[in-house]
Amino acid sequence: MNVDVDELAAPEVDASWREHADRERAPRLQALDRAVLEFLIVEGYRDAAEALAHEADLDATGDLSAVDTRQQIRESIDAGDVEGAFRRVNDISTDIFDTDNQLYLKLRVQQFIELIRKGALSEAINFAQTEFNVDQLTASDADEESSATAALRSEIQQAMGLLAFGQPQSSPLQGLLSVERRQHLASLINTAVLQAQGVEARTTLTNMVRLLEWCQEQMTEAGIAYPALNPAEAVEKAVTKLNASQPMEGTVV
């Protein structure tokens, strides 16, 4: 039997229905654009936020004016200029590191790692002898030692382990040299700066990510099969692409 392909063509959609669908979809798209914009502003990605605001026709002038310093801190860490990030954070408030010693040490660990990355081994050793004491490198017998303290000690020990490899970039500890580690640290610093400024660090998008992660945990516990997602990693990768691409179009769903 011969079939006329014209008979298989999709029926024409009434123009008024299309207009109605577009009107219904527009508010949801704008709400999603606003959620992404809020996230970019809070995380200190001024350039990406500015581009999205322009393309999505959103007004973010007031919000963007306060992002510059936090973006400079993030850019310093992303470029490996940890000392520059220190200076900029202290320009905002010297209390940030005074009240959060673990954050201070995390940034110092990153500074040590950046010296290893550059191949400045003698400088890295001298730096470690100055910044890291025996108590930070030796496990404590105290029962009350927090998991955060133990994790930081492990982090310092792993960073010191980079000295054992002639090519640390291809060593079992190569993850310490990753771009993702820089980005994670930049986000921790950004959150600390926001808290010092009395600004809410949690956003609609991060709340959505946490909700999705919770839902997946519940389904796993219930034995329900589902295509596992890593929403936090997906957001981080998306932000990296958004920040690197110019010009940027509005959010697509």
Q: What local confidence, expressed as pLDDT, does residue 57 receive?
A: 78
At residue 139, φ and ψ (nearest 5 deg) are: -65, 140
Can you list the residues of the chain whose pLDDT is less than 70? Answer: 1-30, 60-66, 134-145, 201, 231-253
Q: DSSP secondary-structure letter at 164?
A: G
What Rg do the C-alpha atoms of the chain give, in angstroms?
24
> What count of residues does the chain have?
253
The whole-model pTM stands at 0.64
Structure tokens at 64: 């963007």
Reference 106, options 39, 43, 151, 45; nearest CA is 151
Q: What local confidence, expressed as pLDDT, does residue 131 receive?
A: 87
Q: What local confidence, expressed as pLDDT, does residue 122 receive?
A: 93
Structure tokens at 13: 């959609």
Domain ranges of the chain: 18-66+201-253, 93-196
Query: Are 129 and 82 spatial neighbours (Cβ–Cβ below 8 Å)?
Result: no
Q: What local confidence, expressed as pLDDT, does residue 205 receive?
A: 76
Distance between CA 64 and CA 124 in Å, rounded? 37
